[in-house]
């Protein structure tokens, strides 16, 4: 059976993408959680990951002797291994668009990532209000998300970005979490999409796991001194 190495569910947005994709699609795997103790070269986290991945980061998918260590690569590998799951849209144009959105998420949205780190357990509307006021990059990132999501929902009729669940929804699941944590302003139809994503069984299972961790890491939470 495949193994998926992940970080703390409360904080690890990259891990969440691959875990949600596999779980929501009903693909069996063993989960191996490597706690975020630090990211220094001599940390236990790095020591563990160095034996698996050249980047020393999560997630890492292990399938027999094969290692896959990037979220996009994991998505492509799993889609090839399980074509019956239709993890990418079957329509060629929709599939190209879904890949474009995932690649944009993979490499972009630096403002949102930097100023609104994922923290599923937290409720930080006051922090979100300050970020929204002071960080034009965050406002621009959210405007781009709203635009791309509305277009997909309009073009494909919902309930998810390309109708049925796809890699794209898994890739944006951590963003949905961020938007809720920081209570960033969104149109009503986008709020509805965010709630639908968070209600997916695979996403809800990850959220429940994050809430159960009770593992406060101060280096992940510069805006809080304690939980």
By mean pLDDT, which of 44-53, 137-146, 169-178 is the weakest?
44-53
- Out of 1.20.1050.10, 1.10.3720.10, 3.40.50.410, 3.30.56.10, the CATH code matching 92-209 is 1.20.1050.10
Give CA separation, 157 vs 87, 162, 168, 176, 201, in Å.
Answer: 18, 8, 15, 19, 21
Domain locations in the chain as residue ranges: 3-85, 92-209
Token pair belonging to 120: 């599923």
Predicted structure pTM score:
0.95
Q: Identical fold at 3-85 and 92-209?
A: no
The pLDDT of residue 20 is 98
**Whole-angstrom Cα distance, residue 131 to residue 138?**
7
Encode pLDDT of 165-190 as tens digits. 999 999 999 999 999 999 999 999 99
- Out of 3.40.30.10, 3.40.50.920, 3.40.50.300, 3.30.160.110, the CATH code matching 3-85 is 3.40.30.10
**Whole-angstrom Cα distance, residue 46 to residue 104?**
27
Residue 224 has pLDDT above 80, yes or no: no
The pLDDT of residue 120 is 97
The pLDDT of residue 220 is 79
Residue 53 has pLDDT above 80, yes or no: yes
């Amino acid at each position: 059976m495949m193994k998926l190495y992940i970080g703390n569910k409360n904080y690890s947005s990259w891990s969440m993408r691959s875990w949600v994709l596999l779980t929501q699609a009903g693909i069996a795997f063993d989960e191996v959680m490597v706690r975020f103790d630090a990211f220094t070269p001599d940390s236990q986290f790095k020591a563990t990951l160095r034996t698996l991945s050249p980047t020393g980061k999560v997630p890492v998918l292990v399938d027999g002797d094969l290692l896959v260590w990037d979220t996009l690569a994991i998505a492509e590998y799993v889609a090839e291994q399980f074509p019956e799951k239709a993890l990418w849209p079957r329509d060629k144009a929709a599939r190209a668009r879904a890949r474009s959105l995932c690649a944009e998420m993979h490499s972009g949205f630096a403002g949102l990532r930097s100023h609104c780190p994922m923290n599923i357990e937290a409720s930080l509307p006051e922090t979100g209000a300050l970020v929204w006021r002071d960080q034009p990059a965050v406002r621009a990132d959210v405007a781009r998300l709203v635009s791309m999501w509305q277009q997909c929902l309009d073009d494909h009729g919902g309930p998810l970005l390309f109708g049925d669940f796809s890699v794209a929804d898994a890739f944006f699941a951590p963003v949905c979490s961020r938007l809720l944590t920081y209570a960033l302003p969104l149109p009503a139809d986008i709020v509805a999409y965010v709630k639908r994503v968070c209600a997916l069984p695979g996403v809800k299972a990850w959220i429940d796991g994050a809430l159960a961790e009770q593992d406060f890491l101060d280096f992940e939470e510069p805006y809080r001194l304690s939980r």
